[in-house]
Amino acid sequence: MEQPAESRGRIMVVDDDPDTVAVLSHYLRREGFTPVEAGSGADCIRILADVGPVDVILLDLMMPDMDGFAVCRALKRNPVTAEIPIIMVTARDDLDARTEGIRQGISDFLAKPVLRKQLGNRIIAQLDIVEAAKVAAQALDRLSRGKAAP
């Protein structure tokens, strides 16, 4: 499928179920995003090392070999990927999973099945948070340079 002329951002979809990856990627394209697909946690880490950071990661929790929590820990340990917002997309939507996810650095949660508009809105919210943090850091930098000047 052809990508929009101007993408709203690159979003990685990490899920061991190819149908889920296909559906979420389709939703992302419809919402103007460019999907980057990974079929496992190891694929996610390898692809990010090859293509560089993405804007947001949609991460399944229950995957064989490396579950979503392990993927999140690996991403948060790497300075290149540590600040990428991660939205946990999972069929396991219970308090224990959410609590552990927050401890691991998950930014948001979406329960499967995911609605397209809800997905787009949650991604935009994460992108807005990242942008606000950048603006605040720049303002703080300008203020600190102004005070340091003679």
Q: Once rounded to an integer, what is the mean pLDDT over residues 4-11?
A: 78
Contact 85, 56 (CB under 8 A): yes
Hey, what are 10's tokens? 């690159």
Instruction: Supply the range of the domain harboring residue 94.
Output: 10-148
Q: Has residue 66 got a pLDDT over 50?
A: yes
Give the strands of the sheet with 86-90, arranged side by side: 34-38, 10-14, 56-59, 86-90, 108-111
| Tally of structural domains, the chain | 1
Instruction: Give dist(CA 139, CA 130) in Å, integer.
Output: 14
User: What is the pTM (predicted TM-score) of this model?
Assistant: 0.88
Domain CATH for 89:
3.40.50.2300
Please indicate, yes or no, if residue 91 is contained in any of the structural domains.
yes
Query: 101 in a domain, yes or no?
Result: yes
Whether 59 is covered by a domain: the verdict is yes
Establish if 1 belongs to a structural domain: no
Look at residue 1 and tell me whether its pLDDT is greater than 70.
Answer: no
Q: What is the pLDDT of residue 142?
A: 85
pLDDT confidence bin for 4, thresholds 50/70/90: very low
Has residue 3 got a pLDDT over 70?
A: no
5 domain residue, yes or no: no
Domain assignment present for 126: yes
The answer to whether residue 3 is domain-embedded is: no
Q: Does 34 fall in a domain?
A: yes
